[in-house]
Every structure is written in structure tokens, then in C-alpha cells.
Chain A
Amino acid sequence: MFTYIIKRVIGAFAMLIVISMVTFGIFYVVPQWAGASPEAMASRYVGRAATPETVHLVAERLGFNDPVVVQYGRFVKGLVAGAEYDYGAGVEQCPAPCFGYSFISGQPVWPDLLDRMPVTFSLAIGAAVLWVVGGVCVGVISALRRGSFFDRLSMGTALAGVSLPIFFTGMLSLVVFSYGLGWTPPGGAWTDISVNPAQWAYNLLLPWITLAFLFAATYARLTRAGMLETMGEDYIRTARAKGLHEREVVVKHGLRAALTPILTLFGIDFGLLIGGAILTETTYTLPGLGQFAILAIRNQDMPQVMGVVLVAAMFVVVASLVVDLLYAVVDPRVRLS
């Protein structure tokens, strides 16, 4: 168990390093491959009205003339230990984690990201709970009542759910439930959970369901297949033969074994979840990281885009780590190996 945890933590750490390299590559190396000179890179950092001398100076200060390895080292150091920017007139401290300063507002990126995080995390975590619980329940009932009307209906809906783009279902549900029936608030409504938990949940209900629907479909299909397989096993018959209650047979013996592949998928799906959250936020105009990223791209505000990418990637890594540890709880074989 202990070695398993250590292994996973090291794996997650390695993953973070790879992610930092890829992010660095995207923002510092790819533009240079595509033919941007150090001056052109620097000009993105100083705004459009700068003189060639200033641009040259900034390129020198930000180190775009240095070898890539040195630039990468500086990039990581800024994230871990903070950075100092020497503007000639004075030295500016950028405390860790330093994601640089926005081109547009000149404000440090990190506090802005912190502001946006609760929205995205509320959306992602709420939807994840909803889709796992919903998907597994539907899958189990479908498997137990194989061939019934419920089974066919839910599996048909699941196939449709996999084929629907999330922004389309989001827009349709807004048209129907918000603007048509008036049951849910219009797009853009957001209340912090610390202000009013009930309002928070009410505002997020539609986005949660929209985001969960896409994933719940896959999980329902997978749970159904897994349950059908497990319920045919010999030990299920044994459990029934020794007189266990049917509910206990299904939940403790059947579902627990069928849950392992679900958990594996769940660990992988965090990457998709963040992507889905971005699309959902854009559809419902929620003030989260996704909307922040889209705005930043429209403004060509590279430090902000980079900040979102890194934060999203880190979230995925940490979440996968948590799932890996949960894995050990559900599947004893993992613990012992």
C-alpha cells in the first residue's frame, strides 16, 4: 500500500514536469519554430505602441535570446520560487507561483485565476458527483432489468448523449428551461457558495445536468456491461445461495467488482471534464476559468492563457492522483501489489 502511494505520487510529480515542459513549449518554443524572432516574441509582452529600442530591451530582459533550456529553467523557477522583473527603473517582485502579468491590465495573473477557480471547480465537482451517481444507478437498474423498457430507453438516451455536443444541449436547455419555462435562472447567474449555498446550487443546477449528461451516458453503458458480466459470475450465485439479501448481493458483490473499470475511466476523464467545463461555462456565460481563457485568447493575452492551461493541467493531475488512491480502497488487489 505504502509503495503504491509513493509510486503514484512520484508519477504525478513526473506528470507535472512533463506538463510544464509542454506548456513552455507551446508558449515559448512553437512561436519561435513558426518563425517569430526574439523581438517579435517580446513585442507581444510590451503592447503595440512600443519603440524598437524598448522591444529589444524587453527581449533582452525577458531572456528570449537565451538558449531554450535556460528559458525553461527561468520559467520553472518563477512558478516555484517567484520571479523578479528588472524594468530598469526598479525591480518588481512577482511572488510564487508567478504566472507573469496580464498584457491588458498589467495585473499579476495568479490572483485573477484564484478568483475564477471556485466557479470552475463548483461546476466540475458537482457535475462529476451527479454523473457518477446517476450513470452508475441507471447502469445498474438497466443491467438488472435487461431488455425492459427502462433498459432500452436509457441505453438509447445514452447513445444520443454521447453524440450530442455539450454546448448544443446547453443552449437547448437554456432555451427551454430558462427562457421558455422560466424554471431556472438565465445564463450568467453565479452566487458563491459562502454567500448562499441554496442559490449557488440553484444557479448551477442546469449547467451541472448539462455537463453530467454527456458523461453519465458513457458511465451508464459501462456500468451496465460490467454488471451484466459480474452478475453471471459464480461467486454471485454463491452469495445468493448462502442466503444474502438481494440488495446486498447486488451492491456488495456485484457493483463493487463492476466499479473498478468505472473508476479507471473516471481517472482518465478529468482531462475531458475540464474541457467540458470550459464549454459549459462559455455556453452559460459563467465567470470561470473557461470564460477567462477564451477572453484571454481573444485579447492575445499570453500570460493569462498560460496560467489557465497550467492550472487546468495541475487540477487534472491532482484529481487523477486522488482517483488512483481511491482505486486502492475499492480494489484490494491494488493494495497488496
Chain B
Amino acid sequence: MTAPLDVSGSAAEAQPESVLAGAGKAIQGRSLTRIAWMRLRRDKIALTGGIVVVLLILVAVFASPIIAVFGHPPLEFHQDQIDQSTLLPKGAFGGMSGEYLLGVEPINGRDIFSRIVAGAWISLLIGFLATMLSVLIGTTLGVIAGYFGGWVDLVIGRLMDVFLAFPLLVFAIALAGVVPDKGFGLEGNGLRIAMMIFIIGFFSWPSIGRIVRGQTLSLREREFVDASRSLGARNGYILFREILPNLMAPILVYATLLIPTNILFEAALSFLGVGVNPPTPTWGGMLSEAVRFYTLPHFVLFPGLAIFVTVLAFNLFGDGLRDAFDPRAH
């Protein structure tokens, strides 16, 4: 036990400089969130990641005005930009110009810039919603397993093992194959997006679940939980008012790190042709069309870079967030 700091004038000379700087002012308690925010503000790399994420979300939300100003409608054909004998773009560098910022696609001449901007929302939407679903399942089952222990823990633990060992992509491909065009009150791409959110979210909850379970195990034994219980609090109160608020930081961190994984997953499904149906533009779908045109590096490069930048930004921000909440974790 350490005695509380004495910052009256006489003792100030014996204090380290950092305390001296604050001498005279009353010492304020800082919440964990506040400390984390202060650490995060100093982390330039994480902040850059965060800013890129915000920009990407803005691009996804304001896709139509951006396309209206800088490009052409993403589904519009521009045969005049295509050399009809080779079916390749006429201009140099894949037809890049002031009018077509990132060039045009071979054969039909669609504007690559517009298609990338228009494809952003699908990646981000599926990334976010699938993560929310897995956080929901993972937190619920993780807290229950960690808090109640015993056979409940055993059953949920086994369930997590089973899910972790599943060849996820293979099952996702299979499910995508059997889902009809209509069903569950949805149709077309709406159904496919809903299905991808469900598949990705439903299979990636164990990673969150494990972390939540471990944290709950240690929180359960803490004094404030004992105190609450001795005052007669019921399990529901302890779970929601005592344990869950303390789990928010790790959940936030690992959710941020799960989003890029899920974005990559969506891109993979679209790349394999079992995601959103063409001609709706998706980054993975654009890459799969580019497979046949190795002579056109720009066709491969830009959608790939879009995925890379998005995923990297989320990863950098998530890493920074983790370091901010728990510097020892790294």
C-alpha cells in the first residue's frame, strides 16, 4: 500500500518533476477511457489508421455525390474508350485521364474509380455488421461460460473449439451455393448480403468469445463483485452492471481487429464468385474479373490496393487501441 501523494508546497521539492508540474492543482482521477484516449492521441500510426477509416466511411456514405463529381456511373459502359480490335483500353496506363481517374475496364470500359468508390459500402457494411453479430454471440456465450463455469463452461468451450476448427471458407462457399435467389423475405443481393453477414458473423464469434470468457473469469473473482454479491445483488445485476462495463475495452479492441478480417473474408467470397452478384461492384469481384487480364496491371492493382488500405487502416487503428488500453498486451 502506498500513501496518497502529498502535494502541499513543503513536500513539493521532494517530488519528481512530473508531479511538480501539476503542483498547486488538485489531482484529478482519470478514468481508464481517458487514459487510453490520451495514449491513443500520442500514437501517430494508430491515429493515421483511424483517420483513414473515417475517410473510408465518408467515401462509402457519400459515394453517389463523389461519383457524380469525379467519375461516371459505375455500371455505365464506355465503348468509345475501348480499342475494338484488342478490347483493351485505348489510352496509356489503362486509359487513365482526368476524366477517368483510375482508367477503364477492358471490354466494356466501365470507370474503375467509380466502381471502387461504389464498392466501398458493401465491404464496410458486411465488415461492421458481421463483426457486430460475432461480438453479440461471442460476448453472450463468453460471459456465460466465464461467469457460471462448471459444465456450462465446458459445453461452450467445446463449442468454441468446434467452430474454430471449421474450414470456414469451405462452408461459406457451400452455403452460398445452396441459398436460393429468394428466401427469408429477401431476394437478390439483399439476401446475399444478409447471408454473408450471417455466415461470417456466425463463424467468427469464438475468437471474441474466448477473450471475453478469460476476462470474465478474472473479473468474477475481484473484490467489487464480491462486495456486490454480499450486498445481495442477483446474477443478472452483477453480469450487466458490474462485469459487462469492465469488458467494454477488450471487446472494443478485438471488435476493431475483427473488422479487417471480416472485410478480407467478404472480399474472398466475392472473388470466388459466391458473394454479391455482378454487375454490382465489389472489390473482390473486380479482382476476379481482373484475373483474365494480366497485361493490365492497373486493373489488378487498384481494387487490390483498396482492400489493402482499408484492412491495414483497421489493423493499425486496432493495434493502437489495444496498446492504449493495455500497453503490456503487446
User: Which residues of A come within 8 Å of B, CB atoms?
Assistant: 15, 18-19, 22-23, 26-27, 30-31, 34-36, 159-160, 162-168, 171-172, 174-175, 179, 225, 268, 270-272, 274-276, 278-279, 282-283, 293-294, 296-298, 300, 302, 305-306, 308-309, 312-313, 315-317, 320
**Do the beta carbons of B167 and A268 come within 8 Å of each other?**
no
Given A271-B164, A279-B272, A300-B177, decide whether A165 and B170 contact each other with a Cβ distance below 8 A.
no
Majority secondary structure, B binding face: helix
B169 contacts the other chain (Cβ, under 8 Å)? yes
Question: A31 contacts which chain B residues (CB < 8 A)?
Answer: 178, 180
How many angstroms between the C-alpha atoms of A271 and B260 in the bound complex?
A: 18
B1 contacts the other chain (Cβ, under 8 Å)? no
How many angstroms between the C-alpha atoms of A114 and B180 in the bound complex?
A: 29
In the complex, residue of chain A having the shortest beta-carbon distance to the beta carbon of B203:
A271
Taking the nearest CB of chain A, how far is it from the CB of B210, in angstroms? 11
**Do the beta carbons of A160 and B312 come within 8 Å of each other?**
yes
Q: Which of B169, B176, B301, B319 has the most CB of A within 10 A?
A: B169
How many angstroms between the C-alpha atoms of A27 and B173 in the bound complex?
A: 12
Q: Which of B21-29, B135-143, B234-242, B291-299 lies at the binding interface?
A: B291-299
A-B CB pair tally, cutoff 8 Å: 148
How many angstroms between the C-alpha atoms of A111 and B177 in the bound complex?
A: 22
How many angstroms between the C-alpha atoms of A239 and B308 in the bound complex?
A: 44
**Do the beta carbons of B177 and A165 come within 8 Å of each other?**
no
**Do the beta carbons of A312 and B330 come within 8 Å of each other?**
no
Q: Which of B66-74, B221-229, B244-252, B263-271 lies at the binding interface?
A: B263-271
How many angstroms between the C-alpha atoms of A19 and B264 in the bound complex?
A: 25
Question: B65 contacts which chain A residues (CB < 8 A)?
Answer: none
In the complex, residue of chain A having the shortest beta-carbon distance to the beta carbon of B297:
A175
How many angstroms between the C-alpha atoms of A167 and B284 in the bound complex?
A: 9
**Do the beta carbons of B171 and A22 come within 8 Å of each other?**
yes
Taking the nearest CB of chain B, how far is it from the CB of A176, in angstroms? 9
Contact of A165 among B290, B295, B304 (CB under 8 A): B304
Type the 1/0 row for B266-281, where 1 means its CB is closer than 8 Å to any CB of A: 0110011110000000
Taking the nearest CB of chain B, how far is it from the CB of A143, in angstroms? 13
How many angstroms between the C-alpha atoms of A293 and B180 in the bound complex?
A: 18
**Do the beta carbons of A313 and B167 come within 8 Å of each other?**
yes
Question: A294 contacts which chain B residues (CB < 8 A)?
Answer: 173, 272-273
Known: A302-B177, A313-B166, A320-B165. 10 other contacts (CB 8 A): A159-B315, A165-B268, A171-B294, A171-B300, A172-B304, A174-B294, A270-B167, A274-B169, A275-B268, A300-B177
**Do the beta carbons of A275 and B312 come within 8 Å of each other?**
no
How many angstroms between the C-alpha atoms of A30 and B174 in the bound complex?
A: 11
**Do the beta carbons of B167 and A179 come within 8 Å of each other?**
no
Listed from nearest, the 6 A-B pairs whose CB atoms lie closest are: A275-B169, A168-B304, A34-B183, A163-B312, A163-B311, A297-B177
How many angstroms between the C-alpha atoms of A268 and B204 in the bound complex?
A: 13
How many angstroms between the C-alpha atoms of A306 and B170 in the bound complex?
A: 10
Question: A313 contacts which chain B residues (CB < 8 A)?
Answer: 166-167, 170-171
Question: B170 contacts which chain A residues (CB < 8 A)?
Answer: 274-275, 278, 293, 308-309, 312-313
**Do the beta carbons of B184 and A179 come within 8 Å of each other?**
no
**Do the beta carbons of A163 and B308 come within 8 Å of each other?**
yes
Contact size class for B? 35 or more
Question: A305 contacts which chain B residues (CB < 8 A)?
Answer: 173-174, 177-178
Question: A36 contacts which chain B residues (CB < 8 A)?
Answer: 180
**Do the beta carbons of A35 and B183 come within 8 Å of each other?**
yes
Type the 1/0 row for B151-189, where 1 means its CB is closer than 8 Å to any CB of A: 000000000001011111111011111111011100000
Taking the nearest CB of chain A, how far is it from the CB of B157, in angstroms? 12
Taking the nearest CB of chain A, how far is it from the CB of B156, in angstroms? 15
**Do the beta carbons of A171 and B291 come within 8 Å of each other?**
yes
Listed by A's residue number, 15 A-B pairs whose Cβ atoms lie within 8 Å are A26-B171, A34-B183, A35-B182, A160-B312, A164-B308, A165-B304, A165-B307, A168-B308, A179-B295, A268-B165, A274-B170, A278-B272, A302-B177, A316-B166, A316-B167
Question: B180 contacts which chain A residues (CB < 8 A)?
Answer: 31, 34-36
How many angstroms between the C-alpha atoms of A119 and B264 in the bound complex?
A: 25
Question: A27 contacts which chain B residues (CB < 8 A)?
Answer: 174, 178
In the complex, residue of chain A having the shortest beta-carbon distance to the beta carbon of B315:
A163
Question: A165 contacts which chain B residues (CB < 8 A)?
Answer: 264, 267-268, 271, 284, 287, 304, 307-308, 311
Name B311-330 residues within 8 Å CB distance of A: 311-312, 315-316, 319, 330
**Do the beta carbons of A26 and B175 come within 8 Å of each other?**
yes
Name B175-218 residues within 8 Å CB distance of A: 175-180, 182-184
How many angstroms between the C-alpha atoms of A324 and B176 in the bound complex?
A: 32
**Do the beta carbons of B315 and A168 come within 8 Å of each other?**
no
Question: A271 contacts which chain B residues (CB < 8 A)?
Answer: 164-168
**Do the beta carbons of A312 and B287 come within 8 Å of each other?**
no
In the complex, residue of chain B having the shortest beta-carbon distance to the beta carbon of A299:
B177
Taking the nearest CB of chain A, how far is it from the CB of B122, in angstroms? 15
**Do the beta carbons of B267 and A26 come within 8 Å of each other?**
no
**Do the beta carbons of A278 and B173 come within 8 Å of each other?**
yes
In the complex, residue of chain A having the shortest beta-carbon distance to the beta carbon of B178:
A31
